[in-house]
Structure 1
Amino acid sequence: MSLRLRDRIEGDLVIEVAFTGASLDVGDRAPADVRRAALDAVAVETGALPVVMHQVHGATVSVTSGDDGPAPTCDALVTTTPGVALLARAADCVPVLLADPVAGVVAAVHSGRPGLAAGVVPAAVERVRALGAADLVAWVGPHVCGSCYEVPAAMRDEVAALVPESRSETSWGTPALDLGAGVRAQLAGAGVRDVRDVGGCTRETPDLPSYRRDGDAATRFAGVIWMVAP
């Protein structure tokens, strides 16, 4: 199996989520044949059409039906179409998945440091609610932890001024950011009560890609969410 850490919820539609590991490279820097093979594997295991974003560390949200042509430039992707698998790719950033199985709407969100500061997660929550979502479930995927994500003190202060919960310190005593804590705080502030933390620090987990650990050699994994008929 190429998909791991799976979960499933049921309503009028069945919604499934999973995360890929180091065995699949879905990153933009991957050779075209490697990336295509990875997306084909996701298609086989989900039975759905994989859709990726051209991620730019912003707060733009796009809605897709899966047949919209080239990957949209955004950091949150939303669909109401069953049979479409949305991917949020990461190598230390936080992949966040959102779902309401009764309303039949799901989203995949890429929240790195700039996206956290820009509020991409609250923007995605607002968009799915505009499409009818009410009782949302959120999954917070693996990401670099607050004890490992060292940043300059000025950068920490800048982000923490916007999202105080993100302020952290590394295990070796230097300024850091806790992106996961920041995302969870934003979800709580947006009224999302059912938040499922998948766990796992990418830098400390050998079978997950990490830019902080591996630099330019890092591949990309993804959080994947899709809807199927019950």
Structure 2
Amino acid sequence: MAMPGLMDKLPFPVIVPDWSEVPAKVKAFTTTREGGFSLGPFAALDSSGGLNLGDHVGDDPQAVQKNRDKLNLTLPADVIFLSQVHGNMVLDAANLQPGSQADAVLTNQAATVCAVLTADCLPVLFTDMAGSVVAAAHAGWRGLAGGALENTVAAMRARGAGELVAWLGPAIGSSQFEVGRDVFDAFAAKIPNLHAYFRIKGNEGGVEKYLADIYGLARNLLNDIGVTRIYGGDHCTVSETAEFYSYRRDKVCGRMASLIWIDGGPQG
């Protein structure tokens, strides 16, 4: 069973993966924009404090630190966030330092938190069926096209992971993700049936515009490398204004965190 009662215990709203086959010792959730101390464009929709966890978006540093402190109180250890660069590098959490540049992190150690920050890009949380290895990956379109998910899966398997399970966290939905031909072309060599994930929206000044399905692209890429147990992919950060920050919608906005770890305590 996946984390019974977790949402009732946390001091802020979260989204919990719906992967019931994952061992209970694997803990995971994604934060929302609610339940923190940030104000202005980083506040919750009702103007109460927002739980912005990004320290690079122009928010009051003291508010961000208070938000991170509030988050850390719910975790087995303080999280060290990656400096994300829309690439495909994967780091072991044991080697993380503040400012480490990568877009995915993994661990096979208990009570070690893996996390990524997003506000429209796709967060993907991974574990294997035994709960022996976990990972968090940040995948916007550049990361997806560049192999961020494939590299994360390969790194997990190199550490002895068995059959993998993936959860696609909150990201921009296919009705909102307008992209140009450059994004279409970036996936052309990777995915043969590309038109299944790109719907032509129109032509602006001779430039083709598409609506892209980032969840569908991720599922396709994961299936190609043998990951077929895939959950999530049912939110839209742009449309769900009250729940999520969205860079595409607001430009100036906070960041949510998607986190996963192996519980080191007694298992029920």
> What's the TM-score, normalizing by structure 1?
0.89
> Identity of paired residues, percent?
28
Match of 1:214 among 250, 253, 258: 250
Match of 1:15 among 7, 26, 32: 26
CA distance in 2, matches of 1:131, 1:200: 31
1:92 aligns with 2:120: yes
CA distance in 2, matches of 1:152, 1:102: 41
Does the 8 Å CA contact 1:160/1:167 hold for their aligned counterparts?
no
Kindly report which structure 2 residues correspond to 1:114-125, keeping only aligned pairs within 5 A, or say none.
114-125=142-153
- In the other structure, the counterpart of 2:155 is 127
Shift of 1:61: 0.7
SS at match of 1:202: coil
Q: 1:71/1:121 Cα in 2 relative to 1: closer, same or farther (>3 Å)?
A: same
Shift of 1:226: 1.2
- In the other structure, the counterpart of 2:227 is 192
Does the 8 Å CA contact 1:4/1:21 hold for their aligned counterparts?
yes
Does the 8 Å CA contact 1:51/1:84 hold for their aligned counterparts?
no
Does the 8 Å CA contact 1:89/1:220 hold for their aligned counterparts?
yes
Spell out structure 1 runs of 4+ moving beyond 6 A.
none
Structure 1 gaps, min length 5: none
SS at match of 1:73: coil
Q: Output the amino acid matched with 1:109.
A: A
Q: Output the amino acid matched with 1:197.
A: G
Q: 1:10/1:121 Cα in 2 relative to 1: closer, same or farther (>3 Å)?
A: closer
CA distance in 1, matches of 2:259, 2:124: 9
Shift of 1:10: 5.2
Q: Output the amino acid matched with 1:167.
A: F
Shift of 1:137: 1.2
- In the other structure, the counterpart of 1:72 is 100
1:168 aligns with 2:199: yes
Q: 1:170/1:47 Cα in 2 relative to 1: closer, same or farther (>3 Å)?
A: farther
- In the other structure, the counterpart of 2:72 is 43
More deviation, 152-161/73-82:
152-161
Shift of 1:162: 3.0
Kindly report which structure 2 residues correspond to 1:52-67, keeping only aligned pairs within 5 A, or say none.
52-65=81-94
CA distance in 1, matches of 2:79, 2:127: 17
Q: Output the amino acid matched with 1:58.
A: G
More deviation, 152-161/203-212:
152-161
Does the 8 Å CA contact 1:142/1:202 hold for their aligned counterparts?
yes
Does the 8 Å CA contact 1:86/1:224 hold for their aligned counterparts?
yes
Shift of 1:143: 0.7
Does the 8 Å CA contact 2:116/2:123 hold for their aligned counterparts?
yes
SS at match of 1:88: strand
> What's the TM-score, normalizing by structure 2?
0.77
Deviations 1:11-52 (A, max 9, x none): 4x7101101001211112233222222222222223332121
**Higher gyration radius (CA):** 2
CA-based RMSD: 2.3
Equivalent residue pairs, number: 227
CA distance in 2, matches of 1:88, 1:152: 26
CA distance in 2, matches of 1:170, 1:18: 33
Structure 2 gaps, min length 5: 1-10, 35-50
Deviations 1:44-91 (A, max 9, x none): 2233321211000001111112x7432320001111121122111111
CA distance in 2, matches of 1:158, 1:187: 17
Deviations 1:108-158 (A, max 9, x none): 000001101101001100000100101111110111112211112343233
Does the 8 Å CA contact 1:138/1:196 hold for their aligned counterparts?
yes
Does the 8 Å CA contact 1:55/1:74 hold for their aligned counterparts?
yes
- In the other structure, the counterpart of 1:83 is 111
CA distance in 1, matches of 2:12, 2:227: 29
